[in-house]
Amino acid sequence: MKTKKEYPLVAVTESELKSEARRTTKMLKGKIVEKVWRHRSKEIGIQFTDGTRLFVDISEGGLELSIT
């Protein structure tokens, strides 16, 4: 059984940051932004026309990206 690869919650090393940027670019490539909003005081939500949502949140370790 193949398990889903786990990634660090917040990328901090240069390698993790580059890897996260590549994965995020691949997942969002070609998508069209529908709306942007402040989800919480330290979080921005971005919704795309296909329903994909990106949340960018400030945490103690840095920025956390979440794509749903």
User: β-strands 62-67, 53-59: how paired?
Assistant: antiparallel
Please calculate the CA angle 31-19-68 and round it to the nearest 5 degrees. 40
Task: Please give the single-letter amino acid code of residue 13.
Answer: T
Q: pLDDT (tens digit, 9 = 90+) per residue, 42-65?
A: 999 999 999 999 999 988 878 888
What residue has token string 């917040």?
10
Express each pLDDT in 4-48 by its tens digit.
565 556 787 889 889 999 999 999 999 999 999 997 899 999 999
Residue 6: its pLDDT value, please?
A: 59
- Give pTM, 2 decimals: 0.78
